[in-house]
Each structure stands twice: as structure tokens, then as C-alpha cells.
A and B are shown apart, each in its own frame.
Chain A
Amino acid sequence: MSNANFVTLFPVIIGLSVVLFALGVIGVLTRRNAIIIFMSVELMLNAANLAFIAFARSFNQIDGQVFVFFVMVVAAAEVAVGLALIVAVFRTRQSINVDDINQLKG
């Protein structure tokens, strides 16, 4: 987008990032399905990514985009391990409600 449009849209973009992050917080705090909690965490990571890209654009630096790349890699690793954990917990407890998962002993 052009510079004039970017200056106009910048508060909208950062505002969108803040709103998505807050919605992710609500999701993590209120839902009890472990998979949906996980998806809310992904939503928060995405909101942070959007802010990174917007600031990278405003400073004309590529480092912000490289950092988003790293965030995506860490998110992928986190999803692989997290979903494996959820599957393992479901096998032993027959539930992925986080209120039912309240002891370390399997």
C-alpha cells in the first residue's frame, strides 16, 4: 500500500492486532477445551506477528519480517508438541477438558 494509505491505516492495523490479542486472552481464560485454548494461543501469536510486520513496514527494516518467520517456526514446533500432548492426555483420561486434567500422575 502507498505511504499515505499506510499512515492512515497504521492505527487500524495496530488496533486490529491489539483486539485479536485480547480476544485470544479471552479464549484462553474462558474455554475449557484444550484444543480451543491452543487455537487461542495461535491467535495471540498471529496478532503479535501483525504488529511486527506493521512496524517493519514503518521502519523500512526487514528484521521484523525475519522475526515473524522465527515466531512461525516456534509456533509450528509448539503445535506439534502440544497436540501430541493432547492426544496422549486424551488416551489416558478420555477427556481434554482442562478442568479434568488436574493431577500430574497419569
Chain B
Amino acid sequence: MLNLEIIIFAVLALIAVVAAVLMITTRNAVHSALFLVVVMSTLAVFFLGLWAPFVAMVQVTVYAGAIMVLFLFVIMLLGAEKIGARLGRSWQVPVAIGLALVVLGLGVFLLLNTAPIEVVDLPAEEIMLGSAEAIGAALYSQWLFPFEAVSILLLVAMIGAVVMTRHEGKKKSA
């Protein structure tokens, strides 16, 4: 039974796979970054369909927005569109594809050898919809310690980025 929802998500999955293939094969780093934005946007639609609207919005704003802008900024700052476009040594590519096929085969094997999932029809009030309210309630109760830990992690990353990109020329001239 094919209906509109299944068709939409199947087409989106196809778009995501094609964009990911183009991302790792295209020569230009800017094109690569834009194809990654396409993949992330399609995944955001998947998140919306899987009852995770808050995560979908975070995916669009943080991943497709902030992180990819940072990537594009660095690519264009370094003029790195063509740098390192060549692939590794010639034997590396077939070995890499072979290893990736092993990963793929393992995933497909596990997928085919697990029992099909059973989803019970829940009444509307028992559905755990990932709204901002529900995520916030979980973050500030059960997940409070990890939440504080990642806030420190972000602070450390921010300080690290500033320290590493600081101009050292100043020190020499002073």
C-alpha cells in the first residue's frame, strides 16, 4: 500500500543518498558543503515526520545554519575550494570502498535479521512528541548533569578555538 507519506519519505531518502554521494565525490569543497546542507535539510524533514519537531528545528538552525556557515566561511577564508582535491594513493580508494561495503553489509545484515518492530497504537495523550516543552522537561530533570557537562564542553571548545586562532605575530613584535 503506497500512500503519499511513504512516497514523500522514500523520495527524500533517495535525495539524501544522491546528495551524500555527490558530497564525497565532487571536486569543489564549496559544492561539497552545499550538498551536505541538502542532506541535513532532508534529515530535518525526517525528524519532523518522526515526532521530533524540536530536534528538526535545531537541525535546521544549528546544523544546516550555523555549522555549515562556519564550514563555508573557513573554506572561502582559506581559498580552499580546490586544495587537496586529488584523492589519496591509488590503492586507498578501492580499500576504502571495500571497508565501507563491510560496514554497509553489517548494517543490512542486522536490519534483515532483527524481528520487525511492533508499534502499538497509543492514545493521543500518551504519545511522546518531542516538543520544546517535553525536551526541556527531560533535560532539566533526568538529564541535568549531562546538560551541565556539555555546557562546560562548549565553553572549553570556545576558549580552545579562540586560543588556537589567535595571531602569534603580536607576540613577536612586542
A residues near B (Cβ < 8 Å) are 1-3, 5-27, 29-36, 38-40, 42-43, 46, 49-50, 53-54, 56-58, 60-63, 65-66, 68-70, 72-81, 83-88, 90, 95-99
Contact = CB atoms under 8 A, between A and B. Distances in A.
A22 B103 contact: yes
Interface residues of B, number: 89
Given A12-B13, A26-B24, A43-B36, A56 B52 contact: yes
B70 A21 contact: no
Contacts of B135: 62, 65-66, 69
Nearest to A54: B50
B71 A39 contact: yes
B87 A73 contact: no
B124 interface: no
Give the secondary structure class of B's interface. Answer: helix
Nearest to B79: A90
Interface of B: 1, 3, 5-6, 9-10, 13, 16-17, 20-21, 23-24, 29, 32-33, 36, 39-40, 43, 46-47, 49-52, 54-55, 58-59, 62-63, 66-67, 70-71, 74-75, 77-78, 80, 83-88, 92-93, 95-97, 99-101, 103-104, 107-108, 111, 116-122, 126-128, 130, 134-135, 138-139, 142-143, 146, 150, 153-154, 156-158, 160-162, 164-165
B96 A57 contact: no
B71 to A, nearest CB: 6
> Which of B3, B84, B104, B160 lies at the interface centre, i.e. has the most chain A CB atoms within 10 A of its CB?
B84
Contact of B96 (A1, A29, A61): A29
Contacts of A25: 96, 99-100, 103
A80 to B, nearest CB: 4
Contact of B50 (A1, A22, A39): A1
Given A26-B24, A85-B164, A96-B78, A43 B39 contact: yes
B130 A56 contact: yes
A70 B150 contact: yes
Contact of A16 (B17, B63, B95, B119): B17
